[in-house]
Amino acid sequence: MPQKSFYLLTDTSIICSYLVPKWVKSFENTPGFQGVLVKEEFQPEQVVQARKFFHRKYAGQKHLTEEVYQALINLYPEIDQTEKAMIAQYGISSYSTTEHPQTVFLGDNLNGNYSRNWLMKAAQDSPPLIFCCVSQILKPWWIELTKSQLFNCHTAVLPYARGMHSIENMAIFKDINKFKQAAGITIHYIDEGVDTGSIIRSERIIDPFRFNSIWELKGYTYMKEFELYVQTAQEILGNNETIPAGVSVDPKLQGPNFIAKNFTPEKKKQAEEAYLIMKNSWRDLS
């Protein structure tokens, strides 16, 4: 039976720079690994090399000088609170998202004609498995062309918190039980809904209130998520005779679908404050 061909599809953010080295280390020599797809316009070699050089030079550094931080934002202009927390907790990642020799730039719009034509060609002989870590909702033709072999990792426990900034939005409710229910990781199939595909694996964080901020919690969740994603992919790819069926969730259990544009600076502040309020209440209860 032929080996499954597969790709990693990722954003080019600081967050995903922690996933790519784990993926490459685990699958570099695995038959069927076709490379890394990135959601970004084609970058000249000098940009690719500048990113590579930065990550090699500053790998592991947690406390950045002004000069190093400026170099970082020159390469990654939009650095959010979670990424800052990840750097402070884990240091600069050792590998950029675009340095693997088999990197394919699909453009800023993954639902555009270029991406579609690329995928049609890649799926001509046999549809590949694509493991996603991207912020864009994919059109149904991605599902069709991959024969539903399209996976996603989600930084919350589904179906309780869907969409973007889900755990931050859950914090705003200040409901400790619902927050604990949602704090964790889910690996699932992508379907035509938003985080509604059948679930392959999910894990809950036992104590989500042991962090100094919601951003530290989220950074930790990403790191655990990436470990679980690689492990789950290894299990899927290690068996050429079966593929996970996934578990469908009762639609009545689905939580709200949080939309990125609705996560305003005001809501961000509310999430930060609400997390600390719940953390203090949880400590008192314990």
pLDDT for position 286: 66
With contact defined as beta carbons under 8 Å apart, do 190 and 136 qualify? no
Instruction: Fill in the amino acid letter for 224.
Output: K
Domain residues of the chain, as ranges?
Answer: 6-157+185-250
Averaged pLDDT for residues 97-117:
97
Token representation of residue 233? 């992919």
Rounded distance between C-alpha atoms, residue 27 and residue 103, angstroms:
14
Rounded distance between C-alpha atoms, residue 139 and residue 121, angstroms:
17
Fold held by 6-157+185-250: Rossmann fold (3.40.50)
pLDDT for position 188: 98
H-helix segments, the chain: 19-27, 45-58, 66-75, 81-90, 113-122, 140-145, 166-172, 176-182, 214-237, 265-285
Cα 255 off chain centre by? 20
End-to-end CA distance of the chain: 54
Token representation of residue 44? 């000249």
Rounded distance between C-alpha atoms, residue 44 and residue 11, angstroms:
17
pLDDT for position 78: 85
pLDDT for position 17: 97
Rounded distance between C-alpha atoms, residue 275 and residue 215, angstroms:
10
Rounded distance between C-alpha atoms, residue 138 and residue 141, angstroms:
8
Average pLDDT over the chain reads 95
Higher pLDDT, residue 143 or 283? 143
Percent with pLDDT over 70 in the chain: 99
pLDDT for position 263: 94
pLDDT tens string 47-91: 999 999 999 999 999 999 999 999 999 999 889 999 999 999 999
pLDDT greater than 80 at residue 149: yes
